[in-house]
């Protein structure tokens, strides 16, 4: 069997394997979620929203196990990088499944700040609500800041997709300002995340999966307190975007 036929066979198999398992596991997870939430609230003293975020993180970790036969996934981080317990993650956006790979992050208390459309998926909507995820299209900035700051002050993290949408060409696009306003106003650091390969797995506009190499690189934290003045959030946004653009370009070149 030549390489083209092997690749075609693996493409068929990943779709026969992942989609049915994902549907079954999602349905099962919805059934066991409520008892698990209660378990973590009793055992660990989690609040309701904290427990929901924890099981969503565990759900992401289970996704990594489901795709393992077909996706070569690795988290890359210099050993001297310390990821703060409370920080603001910003990550580029290539695929619907980018959020699932966040199960590989070191802490489970992740409040996602996302656009409105994921809140419309009935099988996730209640959990996003009880997990107190941030709908950046529907909520006013004051409420986004209040809830984001509360998550950080309580020892959690907030994750933004600053492009606001999936990239259709693999390039890093314009950043919105929300994450950087939150960082400057709260004093918490930004931790940039760079992901490549999910656009091979499932890019926008395609319904079937393909085997892929996915890399998630954690960059050093950026201290938001170093930026001050009227344009502090713009300076922070520019520095973070430039660092991410360089890193993503290097990662993409390495994968070619």
Quick check: 192 pLDDT over 70?
A: yes
The answer, yes or no, to whether residue 122 has pLDDT greater than 90, is no
Give per-residue pLDDT as tens, 23-52: 999 999 989 999 999 999 999 999 999 999
Q: Please give the average per-residue pLDDT across 210-231, as a whole number.
A: 96
| % of residues, the chain, pLDDT over 90 | 88
Measured at the CA of 60, the angle between CA 154 and CA 26, to 5 degrees, comes to 120
Whether 245 shows a pLDDT value over 80: the answer reads: yes
Q: Which residue range(s) make up the domain with 46?
A: 3-255
Residue 44 sits in a domain of what CATH number? 3.40.1130
The H or E element spanning position 59 is helix 48-67
User: Per mean pLDDT, which range of 81-90, 119-128, 167-176, 205-214 is the poorest?
Assistant: 119-128
The string of DSSP letters for 105-126 reads SS-S-EEEEE-SGGGG-HHHHH
Give the Å distances, CA to CA, from 194 to 145, 218, 247.
Answer: 24, 7, 7
Supply the pLDDT for residue 125: 85
* CB 179 within 8 Å of CB 92: no
pLDDT in the model for residue 116: 87
**pLDDT at site 22:** 92
Question: Can you read off the two tokens belonging to residue 218?
Answer: 């954690």
Q: Is the pLDDT assigned to residue 255 strictly greater than 90?
A: no
- pLDDT tens per residue across span 134-168: 999 999 999 999 999 999 999 999 999 999 999 99
Give the length of the chain.
256
Average pLDDT value for residue range 227-256: 93
Q: How many domains does one find in the chain?
A: 1
pLDDT for the residue numbered 256: 64
pLDDT at res. 224: 97
pLDDT the model gives residue 68? 96
Nearest to 14 by CA among 253, 165, 206, 215: 206
- pLDDT tens, residue by residue, 163-185: 999 999 989 999 999 999 999 99
The predicted structure's pLDDT at residue 221 = 97
For residue 39, give both structure tokens. 């378990």
Q: Are the C-beta atoms of residues 254 and 218 closer than 8 Å to each other? A: no
Query: Is the pLDDT reported for residue 88 higher than 80?
Result: yes
């Amino acid at each position: 069997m030549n390489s083209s036929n092997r690749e075609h066979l693996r493409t068929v198999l990943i779709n026969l394997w992942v989609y049915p398992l994902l549907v079954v596991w999602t349905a099962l997870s919805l059934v066991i979620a409520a008892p698990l939430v209660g378990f973590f609230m009793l055992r660990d003293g989690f609040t309701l929203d904290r427990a929901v975020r924890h099981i969503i993180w565990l759900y992401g970790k289970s996704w990594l196990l489901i795709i393992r036969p077909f996706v070569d996934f690795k988290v890359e981080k210099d050993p001297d990088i310390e990821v703060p317990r409370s920080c603001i993650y910003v990550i580029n956006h290539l695929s619907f499944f980018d959020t699932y790979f966040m199960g590989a992050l070191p802490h489970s208390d992740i409040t996602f700040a996302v656009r409105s459309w994921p809140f419309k998926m009935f099988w996730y909507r209640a959990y996003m609500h009880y997990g107190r995820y941030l709908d950046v299209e529907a909520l006013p900035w004051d409420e986004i800041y209040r809830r984001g700051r509360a998550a950080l002050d309580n020892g959690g993290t907030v994750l933004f997709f600053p492009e606001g949408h999936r990239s259709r060409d693999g390039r890093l696009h314009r950043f919105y300002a929300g994450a950087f306003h939150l960082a400057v106003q709260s004093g918490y650091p930004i931790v940039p995340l760079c992901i490549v390969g999910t656009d091979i797995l499932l890019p926008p506009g395609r319904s079937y999966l393909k085997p892929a190499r996915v890399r998630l690189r954690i960059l050093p934290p950026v201290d938001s307190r170093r930026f001050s003045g009227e344009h502090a959030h713009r300076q922070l946004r520019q520095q973070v975007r430039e660092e991410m653009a360089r890193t993503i370009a290097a990662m993409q070149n390495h994968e070619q």
